[in-house]
Structure 1
Amino acid sequence: MFRRTFWFGTGVAAGVWATTKVNRKLKQLTPDSLAATAANKALDVGTRVKDRAVGFALDVRDNMAQREAELDDALGLNAPVDPELPAPRRRHAIENHHSSNPQHVVDDTSTYTTYSYNRNEDH
């Protein structure tokens, strides 16, 4: 009699365990559960992609700054300025030789003529 009771209890326990497993699996396969699982996985993938993109952008920025410094050194832009050299003059870029109003300017180093620029004169 104890033998039959033991096997009956074992069968009941196995049946409860199997029923619980099947019910959990069925709940996982419902449309709402599948949608939630897909959304969670999509969020995880999006987070990983964003983290990698941010890391890549930071690497690009660091390498760009390093390359810019190398180019500045190669072109001598970081070199100290020699105090004996005159300051660069950029007057030539704004002179208008077609204007009729020349103004004579006397500088401490040279004399040059500037012209007023009126945008409406060209039309």
Structure 2
Amino acid sequence: MFRRLFWFGVGFAAGVIAVSKANAYVKANTPDAMRQFVLGPDQDHVAVRTLEGLVNEFNATRRAREAELNRTYAERSAR
């Protein structure tokens, strides 16, 4: 259990480092117009926007699945 948790943490840290290095590379080596096209006009908060989008998508999917399950159980109990 602890071995898996350790390797998960190592992988997560490596991913965070890789993304931050890639982001720094893109900011340093691309023209401003290209950065705005790729990263959007608010280039300092790309990670926050991405996380917010993931949370919103998760919540929308969760609500749709809950509605589907409620509909299924309501039909079963009506019989």
More helix by percentage: 2
TM bucket (normalised to shorter chain) is 0.3 to 0.5
TM-score (norm 2): 0.47
TM-score (norm 1): 0.32
Structure ranking higher on relative contact order (CA contacts 8 Å, 6+ apart): 1
More strand by percentage: 1
